[in-house]
């Protein structure tokens, strides 16, 4: 049984690492991650894989595994609630039943609430880590959306030009290469 658990864990870790390589590259192209996570990095095409693997090894060896599992559970439940809220907002487009979507949001929020109370009571250090990660995630999201990270980390010329014809899909109007027409020459940034 221990061998099966070991193989299962190794397989899941392997799949997660290789998926994160493509995910970090995509996030770097969207300028939501620093450019060194992307294909244009000095580390090569798989830089996201190397960085993620290093961080996973560091965290797995320095942090209590039960704390990692608790943080993972909190993140998963939070993502479920956010996806359900997005489903509620898009229910007209998807044809979803309002009652079912609201029920799903409520049940998941209740489970998340019980999880938070239990973790705060029985594992206050883990609860503090979850709150710290949440606050850090919100700060980083606000920071990257305002473009501050682009001022000192990002290199727009390291990103591939957008394939989008009208540029309306991208929230990042600066996804251009130095060979593209400047905003002034092309009549300004698209809306």
pLDDT at 63: 79
d(CA 67, CA 84): 26
Report whether pLDDT(189) > 50: no
**Residue 34 contacts residue 152 (beta carbons within 8 Å):** no
Higher per-residue pLDDT: 92 or 56: 92
Domain boundaries, the chain: 34-63, 65-146
The string of pLDDT tens digits covering residues 59-76 is 888 877 778 888 888 888
Report whether pLDDT(11) > 50: yes
Phi-psi region of 39 (alpha: psi -120 to 50; beta: other; left: phi over 0): alpha
pLDDT at 101: 92
Q: Pick the closest to residue 115 from 75, 84, 87 (CA basis).
A: 75
Residue reference for tokens 């439940």:
77
Higher per-residue pLDDT: 2 or 155: 2
d(CA 133, CA 116): 14
How many Cα atoms sit within 13 Å of 112 on the Cβ side?
18
- Model-level pTM? 0.57
The string of pLDDT tens digits covering residues 139-177 is 877 776 666 454 445 444 444 444 444 444 444 444 444
Residue reference for tokens 């993502």:
79
User: How large is the average pLDDT for residues 79-106?
Assistant: 91
């Amino acid at each position: 049984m221990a061998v099966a658990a070991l193989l299962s864990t190794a397989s899941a870790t392997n799949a997660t690492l290789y998926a994160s390589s493509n995910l970090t590259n995509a996030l770097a192209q969207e300028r939501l991650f620093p450019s060194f996570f992307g294909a244009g990095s000095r580390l090569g095409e798989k830089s996201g894989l190397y960085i993620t693997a290093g961080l996973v090894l560091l965290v797995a060896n320095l942090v209590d595994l039960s704390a990692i599992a608790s943080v993972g559970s909190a993140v998963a439940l939070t993502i479920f609630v956010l996806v359900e809220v997005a489903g509620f907002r898009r229910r007209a487009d998807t044809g979803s039943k309002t009652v079912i979507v609201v029920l799903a949001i409520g049940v998941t929020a209740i489970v998340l609430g019980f999880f938070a109370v239990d973790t705060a009571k029985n594992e206050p250090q883990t609860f503090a880590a979850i709150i710290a990660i949440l606050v850090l995630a919100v700060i980083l999201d606000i920071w990257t959306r305002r473009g501050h990270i682009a001022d000192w980390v990002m290199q727009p010329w390291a990103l591939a030009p957008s394939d989008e014809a009208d540029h309306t899909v991208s929230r990042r109007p600066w996804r251009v290469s130095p060979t593209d027409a400047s905003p002034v020459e092309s009549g300004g940034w698209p809306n």
